[in-house]
């Protein structure tokens, strides 16, 4: 009986860690607003399919999916289609990543593919 309780507790702990691990989703105004209203860590990745830097960034981010040491949600923004959002946020180049804690911008980075720099931007939204 004790072993099954320990296994149940371990399973719950693993699921809790997975639930707080990095999620990558497509951007929608509704999802962004919901995450901000819940004061959740969220980052916008202004991504263009034709951009090699964006592809390199996406590969790094995708490697962190399910990793509890990188919590939050990354919303992939279509750089070519979301012109009004780009204007409103002052984004001038694809491959820009902006991290928020709720509605407060915590960090911004553009044109960077270094994993440590990308992790630092996402981590800024947690603190």
Q: Which DSSP string do the residues of 55-85 spell out, in sequence order? A: HHHHHHHHHTTT-TTSBSEEEEEETTT-HHH
Instruction: Quickly state the pLDDT bin for 68 (edges 50, 70, 90).
Output: confident
Residue 50 has pLDDT above 80, yes or no: yes
Q: Which helix (H) or strand (E) holds 46?
A: strand 41-47
The distance of Cα 89 from the centroid of its chain, to the nearest Å, equals 17
Q: Please tell me the distance from the alpha carbon of residue 58 to that of residue 64, in angstroms, as a whole number.
A: 10
pTM: 0.83
What is 2-124's CATH topology? Glutaredoxin (3.40.30)
């Amino acid at each position: 009986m004790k072993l099954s309780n320990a296994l149940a507790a371990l399973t719950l702990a693993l699921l809790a860690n997975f639930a707080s691990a990095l999620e990558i989703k497509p951007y929608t105004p509704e999802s962004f607003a919901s995450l901000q209203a819940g004061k959740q860590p969220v980052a916008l990745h202004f991504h263009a399919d034709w951009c090699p830097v964006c592809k390199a960034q996406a590969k790094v981010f995708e490697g962190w999916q399910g990793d509890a040491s990188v919590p939050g949600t990354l919303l992939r923004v279509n750089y070519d289609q979301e012109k009004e959002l780009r204007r409103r946020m002052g984004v001038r180049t694809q491959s820009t990543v902006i991290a928020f804690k709720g509605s407060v911008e915590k960090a911004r980075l553009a044109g960077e593919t270094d994993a440590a720099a990308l992790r630092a931007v996402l981590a800024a939204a947690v603190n």
